[in-house]
Each structure stands twice: as structure tokens, then as C-alpha cells.
A and B are shown apart, each in its own frame.
Chain A
Amino acid sequence: SQTIHQWPATLVQPVGSPLSLECTVEGTSNPNLYWYRQAAGRGLQLLFYSVGIGQISSEVPQNLSASRPQDRQFILSSKKLLLSDSGFYLCAWSHGQMYEQYFGPGTRLTVT
């Protein structure tokens, strides 16, 4: 069966510091991968998606970037965090003809 991992689970970072969040998927190959942000009390905002290694599409202009160095690894980064980057970050995967997505446990980021 497939599983998806995210780490760290929680993170507190000062404004201006760098960020690296990692997501890995097990039990499948060539998945579609997605990064979402969920601000407090709000819905999900799609940030990035990837259909293959090195292929990254951005949905909204922002202070963040994403990379996919390996087939089942998806990384969310920032060079300098802003207060507005605080939120709950969720990674998800889908595959092939699947329409549904499966989500990881999330990372709670607080920028202070």
C-alpha cells in the first residue's frame, strides 16, 4: 500500500530564516505531487504541483519554491520566510488515471 510522509511535523522559525519541508511517498512510482497551504480557518490553497522529476508548476506567485529531486520526493523551500508564510502545509499525491488525491499528515509552520 501507499504511504506519504511529511517532516517536520511542527516548525517555528524567525522571519528572514530559510525553510525546507520534505514530503516522500512510498509504494508507488511516478506520482503526481502537490503542495497546499491551509491558513487558519480557511480552505486549501494549491501552491505547487509536479507531474515528474524536475517538473514544477506554480499556482500562485509567492515567497516559496518547490523542487522534485527524486521521483517520490517533493520539497518546499524558502530563502527568507515572511510572517504571512505561517500556516499548515500539506503534501498530497495522486497517480495516473486517479482523480482523488491522498494527503500527508501536514507540517505546522509558525513564523515569528
Chain B
Amino acid sequence: AQSVTQLDSQVPVFEEAPVELRCNYSSSVSVYLFWYVQYPNQGLQLLLKYLSGSTLVESINGFEAEFNKSQTSFHLRKPSVHISDTAEYFCAVNSWSEGAQKLVFGQGTRLTINP
């Protein structure tokens, strides 16, 4: 079965500093990877996804993630964070079982931006 490990439960950084949120997944023949963001008391929003093609994928608000097959990783990065990036971030991998597509989520990383 697929699994996802987010290596850091909390990441505090200063505003305008770079950040990396780490995600590792269990190996599979074909894998599709996602990052979701959750602001307080809200649902999850899809931030970016890797399905195929270029291993570097970008979001509209400056985040990027790189699919690394040899290291089974999909780390999320941003070169300069803003206060508004404070949120919980979830990494997810697809899983197919019992005739349905599912997502397996990591435990989440709480990103806190300090002024």
C-alpha cells in the first residue's frame, strides 16, 4: 500500500526567508503526487500536482515542487515566504484499490511565518 511521510510536523521561518517542506512516498510503478494547503478552519486547496512530464511543477503563488524518482521525494519549496503562507501543508500520493482512485495523505506540516 502507498504511504506518505512528511518529515517535519512544524516549520517556523521568518518572512521573506526560503522554505522547504519535505515529503517522501513509498515506491510504486506509477505515482501521481500532490500538495494541498489548508488555512485555519477551511477545507484543503490543491496547490500543485505532478502527473507526468517535467519533474518541476509550479503553483500560481510562487511554490514549486520537484518529483525525484530515485529518492522517492516530492519536496515543496518557496524562495521567499509571506505572512499569508502561514497554513498547514499536506503531501498526497494516488492509490488505486477496490475499483476507486484514492489519495493517501501525509500527516501534514504546519508552516508558521514570523515577521
Contacts and interface: CB of A to CB of B under 8 A. Distances in A.
B100 A103 contact: no
Contacts of A105: 42-43
B101 A32 contact: yes
B100 A57 contact: yes
Interface in B57-111: 90, 94, 98-103, 105-108
Given A43-B105, A57-B98, A102 B46 contact: yes
B45 A99 contact: no
Contacts, number: 53
B17 interface: no
B41 A44 contact: no
A90 B42 CA distance: 9
A52 to B, nearest CB: 10
Interface of A: 6, 32, 34, 42-44, 46, 49, 51, 57, 88, 90, 92, 94, 98-106, 108
12 contacts: A42-B107, A43-B105, A44-B44, A44-B90, A49-B100, A57-B100, A99-B34, A101-B46, A106-B41, A106-B42, A106-B43, A108-B41
Given A49-B100, A103-B36, A103-B43, 18 more contacts: A32-B100, A32-B101, A44-B105, A46-B103, A90-B43, A90-B44, A92-B44, A98-B101, A99-B32, A99-B34, A99-B49, A99-B94, A99-B103, A101-B46, A105-B42, A106-B41, A106-B43, A108-B41
Interface of B: 32, 34, 36, 41-46, 49, 51, 90, 94, 98-103, 105-108
